[in-house]
Amino acid sequence: MTETRTAIRMSAGTKIYLYVSLTIIAAIVVVPLLTTALGGFKTLGDLRVNPFGLPAEWQWSNYTDILFGERYWRQMMNSLIIATLTVFLTVSVAAMAAFTFAHVKFFGATFLLNYFLIGLMFPAATAILPLFIRIRDLGLLNSYWGVVLPQVAFGLGMSILLFRNYFRNLPEELFQAAFVDGCGYLRFFWHITLPLSRPIIATVAIVSFVASWNSYILPLIMLNSESIYPWPLGIMVYRGEFGTEWQLVLAFITLTILPTIIVFFLAQKHIIAGLTAGAVKS
Amino acid sequence: MTNISATTAIEHAAGATRVAKRKSPTARGRLPVLILFLPPALLLFTIFVIMPMGEAAWYSLYRWDGYGLPEQFVGLRNFEVLFKNGAFLTALKNNFLIIVVSLLLQIPLAIWLATMLANRITGVVVFRLIFFLPYVLADVAAGLIWRFVYDGDYGLFAAVAGFLGVETPYVLADKDLAIYAVLAVVVWKYFGFHMMLFIAGLQSLDKSVLEAAEIDGATGWQKFRFVTLPLLGSTLRLSVFFAVVGSLQLFDMIMPLTGGGPFNSTQTMVTFLYNFGVTRMQVGLGSAVGVVLFVICVTLAFSYKRIFMRHD
C-alpha cells in the first residue's frame, strides 16, 4: 500500500509535528477521564488541592461502598433490561418489515417505505409531550415498555433502511432457487435471509444498544420512580443527592461508564464499524 | 448434497425465469407474509412517531395542561409567545451557534486528524481509539465529567488557574462564558465520530490520483486542497448532515452541565422544551416548540437533499 511508502519518506520534522499534535489532542481527551477515575480515589480535601495528581491516600471505600450498595447494580440492571428489550424488538420488527420491502412486491410498497423514512428526519424530542400523553393514556408510564416502545419506534426508520439495503444485495439466485424448491417466504426469511445477514444484524443491534444504553430524555420523561431508573437518570439523581461531594460523584461516574469503556476496548473494531457504518450505509 | 441441489436449483431457476419471462416464482404465500411482517413495524411507527407528531401540531394550537381534552383554542398564540420569549430566542441562537462551531471547528479538526491517522504510522490504532472514545460515552456522563473539570472549587480549571496565579473562573456560572464551555464539550465529545467518517472516506480514495498529482509536482497542501478534499465530497456532506442534525437536538449534555442556565444563557430548543413545556406541563407551548423544531429539521433535510445530495 502507498501508506508504507509515505511512512518511510516522512521526514523527522513531519514526524515530530505529527506526534506532538496527536499527543496534545489525545491528552485533552484522556485527562478529564483519567482525573475523573483518580478523583474517585481521593478525599474531598485532596481533590481540592490536587485534582491532577495521584491520590495522597487511596480511598478505596469510595468505590467499594458503591459496589457493595444495591443502587449501582439496580441502575445497571435497569439499563440492561431496557437496552436488551429495545435491541430485540428493533431487530425483529425492522428485519421483518425490511424483508417485505426487499422481496415482496406489493401495491404501495414505495409509499410505505417512504412513510418509514419520515422517521429519519426528526428527533424524538419534537414529539416528546404528545408521546408522554400517549404513554400515560396507555398506562405505560413508569414502566420499561414506556421507554422501550418509543425508542424502538424512533429507531425503525434507520434500521429498516439498513436491513432493506442489505437484503436487496443478497444474491438473487438464492431467492429464486429457494422458491423453485418450494420454500415459502417465512422459511426463506428464517433459514436463508437471517443467517446470511449477521453483519447487518450486528450493526443494527450495536447502534440501537448504544443509543438505548446512553439515552436520557425518554426515560427522564417516562419514568418517575428511582427503582426503575436507568443509569443516566440515576447518575443525575446521585449527583443531586451528594451535591459537592465530588469524590463520590466521580467514583460513581467512573463505575457507570466503566462497562462502556471495557466493552468498547474489547469489541472496538465491531463497535466503531457498527456506529460509523450505520451512519454511512443509510 | 445440499450443495449440488443448490447449484442445480440455481440453474433450474435461471432456466425457469428465462422461460417464464421473469413471471416471479414468488407469488405463493405473499399475503401471509405481508400480514405477519408489516403490521408490527407499521403500528409501532404510527402510534409512537407519526401520531405524536401530528398531535404536536394539534396541541400547539391550544392552551392545555395535559388533562382531559384540549379545549381552550388559542390559535397561533403559543407561537407568538414563543417568538417573543427571550429564552427561546437565546435557544435558537445557541442552536445556530452550535451548528456554526460544528461546521467551522469540529469538522476541520476531524479532517485534519483524519489526514494524519489515515496513514499507517506507529500508534495509529491507539490514537484512533482514544479519539473515538468520547463518542461512545453517554452525553450525560460527558456532561458530568466536564462539570467537574469546569468546577471552580474542585475541578481542573481551578487547579490550572491556581497554578497560573489568576482568579478562578466559574465558567459555567458566567452567563457570557457558559455557552462556550458547553460548545467545547460538544466538540470534545463528537470530533472523533466525524474523524472516523473521514478516515473511512480517505481510505476509499483512489490512490492513483494522488500519485499522479505528486508526479506533477503538487505540494502537500495542494494535493490536499485540490485532490483529496474534492474527492471527500460525499463524506463531507454526510458529516455536515450529522453535525447539523445532532446540534439541533442537543439536550442530554446541557442538563448536567448547566441545565440551560445561568439566566437561560445556554438553553437550546430541546432544553427550552423541557424546562418550559414538560416540567410546567404547558403542553401547548411545548408542542409549539416541537413543531418549530420539526419544521426546521424537515426544511433542512429537504433543502439539503436538493442542494447537496443530487450527485450521490
Q: Chain B closest CA to A123's CA: distance in Å?
A: 7
In this prediction, residue A218 has a pLDDT band, given cuts at 50, 70 and 90, of very high
Is A63 in CB contact (< 8 Å) with chain B? no
Interface contact B131-A25, CB threshold 8 A:
yes
A5 pLDDT exceeds 50?
no
User: Per-residue pLDDT tens for A23-37?
Assistant: 999 999 999 999 999
Answer yes or no: do B40 and A96 touch at CB < 8 A: yes
- The whole-number pLDDT of residue A167 equals 92
Note whether B196 contacts A94, CB cutoff 8 Å.
no
Q: How far is Cα A41 from Cα B241, in angstroms, rounded to an integer?
A: 41
Coil/strand/helix, residue B152: coil
Question: Across residues B131-153, what is the average pLDDT?
Answer: 92
pLDDT band at B3 (very low <50, low <70, confident <90, very high): very low
Contact A130 B154 (CB under 8 A): no
CA B12 → CA A178, A192, B5, B114, B246, distances in Å? 11, 19, 10, 50, 51
Whether A177 and chain B come into contact, CB under 8 Å, resolves to yes
Cell of A79: 439499563
Chain A nearest-CA distance from B33, in A, is 7
Question: What does the pLDDT look like over B112-138, one tens digit per residue?
Answer: 999 889 877 888 889 999 999 999 999
pLDDT tens across A129-169, in order? 999 999 999 999 999 999 999 999 999 999 999 999 999 88
Q: Which of A53-67, A170-184, B77-91, B98-112 has the lowest mean pLDDT?
A: A170-184
For chain A positions 218-237, those within 8 Å of chain B (CB to CB) are: 220-221, 232, 235-236
- The tens digit of pLDDT for each residue in A6-17 reads 444 678 888 888
Cα gap A269→A163, rounded to integer Å = 20
pLDDT of residue B134: 95
Mean pLDDT of B139-168: 86
For helices A268-281 and A144-168, give the axis angle rounded to 10 degrees.
70
Check B298 against A36: CB less than 8 A apart: no
- List b or e across B89-126, with b for residues whose CB sees 16 or more CB atoms inside 10 angstroms: ebbbebbebbbebbeeebbebbbbbbbbbbeebeebee
Give chain B positions within 8 Å (CB) of A16: none
Contact of A271 with chain B, judged by CB distance below 8 Å, is answered with yes
Q: Which residues in chain B touch residue A276, judged by CB atoms under 8 angstroms apart?
A: 193, 196-197, 200
Contacts of A160 in chain B (CB under 8 A): 41
